[in-house]
A = this chain, B = another copy of it.
Amino acid sequence: MVFMRFRPQLIASSLSRAPKPSRTLAPQPLAAAAARRRSLTATLSFSSSSSMAGAAPSEEALRRALAERQTAVDAQADAVRSLKASGAKEGVDAAVEALKALKIEAGAAARRLQAAVGSGGGAAREEMRQTVVNTLERKLFYIPSFKIYRGVAGLYDYGPPGCAVKSNVLAFWRQHFVLEENMLEVDCPCVTPEVVLKASGHVEKFTDLMVKDEKTGTCYRADHLLKDFCKDKLEKDLTLSPETAAEFKRVLAVLDDLSPEELGAKIKEYGIVAPDTKNPLSAPYPFNLMFQTSIGPTGLSVGYMRPETAQGIFVNFKDLYYYNGQKLPFAAAQIGQAFRNEISPRQGLLRVREFTLAEIEHFVDPEDKSHPKFVDVADLEFLMFPRELQLSGESAKLTKLAEAVSKGTVNNETLGYFIGRVYLFLTRLGIDKSRLRFRQHLPNEMAHYAADCWDAEIECSYGWIECVGIADRSAYDLKAHSEKSGVPLVAHEKFSKPREVEKLVIVPSKKDLGLAFKGNQKMVVEALEAMSEKEAMDMKAALESKGETNFQVCTLGKDVVITKKMVSIGMEKKLEHQRVFTPSVVEPSFGLGRIIYCLFEHSFYTRPSKSEEEQLNVFRFPPIVAPIKCTVFPLVKNQEFDDAAKVLAKELTAAGISHIIDTTGISIGRRYARTDEIGVPFAVTVDSATEVTIRERDSKQQVRVGIDEVASVVKELTEGQSTWTDISFKYPSHIGPQGDQE
């Protein structure tokens, strides 16, 4: 549920900045989101870098060296001036030569420092990103929303190929998780009444700190301004003393732990002003990130656009548990839109105001977190970045999942199982496994109630991006809603021997309620049965004293009158035959847009055209992800080929394979290049009415296939029953005129 926001490795961004002591009391969004944001990694790597960075060319030493050289230059310049002033001729030339040498040394020191702190690698990354982003925008993978009205920051459309990639990723997610685990998928509304988000803690805590330009009212994220200031100084101001540099680094590291007052004080101290106008800034204050609205016409019922999909599952726990035959463990899942009214969204598709989440809530007995299918993933080996490695300043290490669980690095089998499944999901989509790591939350990043949390982080041009959060959230969420709603969200385990206890019993008289409320009876009955003990006892008292009482039925949107005969309420002694407990929940939460953006970067490459005059763009999407599975080109404009292409297209449609026909007269090479650029894996060139050529995108290999076999061959390839190797073995290869000529 508590889905991550953009957090490049060395830049912290927090959902909340309440001072530390409050965290122990804090409800989930603070703890699980804010805490999770705290970039202790940054703290540690920074604080250690100046003293024990080892092989790294110590930045502090470089700054000191530069300062010393500069002092030497200044001293020598003074000496030269004195010599010249004294009229002495001898020694001047030597002194000037010495000054020149010192200046050269100082210049070299400055360059060394610049290389160490500057954004040299950043520039290359930025350039690479621009190439990808240009291709993505030109090919309408995505489009800034409402572009003709100059757009809205943080809102993007998926254009045709992007939309197809997204729906393919979602279909694969359903296959890989929902179907594989028999999960109970639900679909809840985005509009959410306030009470739900009060229970979850979002109304109180889902905030970022904001400052306003005091003259224009323009808003900024306070931490971003401070961060930008410090980073800019560190990267560009070579005259910074090592002490000041260390101070800026410390600020960057603790950015998310700063209280509003501390943040405000730093902004004052550094003289940070509004970047666009240079006007002074207000003190920082919290801004709630939920889009607020009003449900119904009265204006009295506050609602929000959900900031995550998980709450819809938690509030339905009771029904889902019964649906599952009252058995644990089981998982529910939901795919849907979520909304966060970012103060000033940056970084393109990675921080947006509306996005698709796919969330799983796997409910499990807290006393037994084993998983029967853990064996299926136990042998996987991938980059893991547990606490210890982060704390000792090392990097992520290839680790066998079984070992991580058996050693206790990963808290339990169920959590381990989902980590393994997430790894398989991401790599099968096409995420480069060398740029994927599972990073464990540091103790102070994690909510106090959480047992363990890991993020699947994917490296892209923005740094390491949190794309999936996998958290064992214990019983926190269900308990919060149980308390607020008065409806017990619990599971049961049968006892061998029953126990006696006193319990509230509400028995609505369906007959009397039916007579009184007809079609609405069911809703009244449900509302009566949903009363908390206190509400029920109040009603009992009212009914006994006055014979009737008003009763609000929200599902009807009005009050009804309940009379004494309509319901019997009492406390009864009962035998209990079971243990009643709140299940723990393991929550894998996927930010679809981030995964897709990283996938775009990981899938992108360029290769020279045949004439080597230009670089051609290619997305190497696996067939399962590719927006369009195959293109059909008649080799030349010709009725026979066009007709054959049309018949083929019909067969592809019938087989459910997305395709495009390109009948433009341009060269085959150009047409290949065009479809490579949107990642179409297979191209079919029709050069006869009976046989065609199929060309694979990345190898550019071609095979000859009978036209009536094409649909089934492409279907096998895209559904994964065959690989290109199988096909190129089975069918004759082709090196014909219709090659990649451009």
Contact = CB atoms under 8 A, between A and B. Distances in A.
Interface stretch (A160-168, A392-400, A425-433): A160-168
Contact of A343 (B145, B193, B296, B318): B296
Nearest to A159: B186
Contacts of A481: 148
Interface in A556-573: 556-559
A276 to B, nearest CB: 5
Copies in the complex: 2
Contacts of A653: 179-180
A176 to B, nearest CB: 10
B316 A143 contact: yes
A186 B174 contact: no
A292 B293 contact: yes
A453 to B, nearest CB: 27
Contacts of A134: 522
A8 to B, nearest CB: 16
A191 B305 contact: yes
Contact of A291 (B191, B193, B556): B191
A86 interface: no
Interface residues of A, number: 105
Interface string A97-130: 0000000000000000000000000000010001
B152 A295 contact: yes
A144 interface: yes
A164 to B, nearest CB: 7
A516 to B, nearest CB: 14
Interface string A177-191: 001101011111111
Contact of A189 (B155, B530, B554, B664): B155
A130 B191 CA distance: 27
Nearest to A171: B171
B187 A553 contact: no
Contact of A148 (B296, B297, B318, B323): B318
A210 interface: yes
B153 A554 contact: yes
A607 to B, nearest CB: 24
Contact of A185 (B126, B164, B523): B164
A583 to B, nearest CB: 16
B485 A148 contact: yes
B557 A298 contact: no
Contacts of A187: 157-158, 162-163, 166
A699 interface: no
Given A157-B186, A293-B293, A325-B664, A147 B526 contact: yes
B143 A163 contact: no
Contact of A153 (B218, B519, B555): B555
B157 A184 contact: no
A235 interface: no
Nearest to A555: B151
A126 B519 CA distance: 8
Given A187-B166, A196-B149, A530-B150, A159 B293 contact: no
Contacts of A339: 190-191
Interface of A: 126, 130, 134, 137, 139-140, 143-153, 155-160, 162-164, 166-167, 171, 174-175, 179-180, 182, 184-193, 195-196, 210, 217-219, 276, 287, 291-298, 300-301, 303, 305, 312, 315-316, 318-320, 323, 325, 332, 337, 339, 341-344, 353-354, 481, 484-485, 487, 489, 519, 522-523, 526-527, 530, 552-559, 653, 656, 658, 660, 664
8 contacts: A145-B189, A148-B315, A150-B530, A159-B319, A160-B186, A162-B187, A179-B656, A189-B354
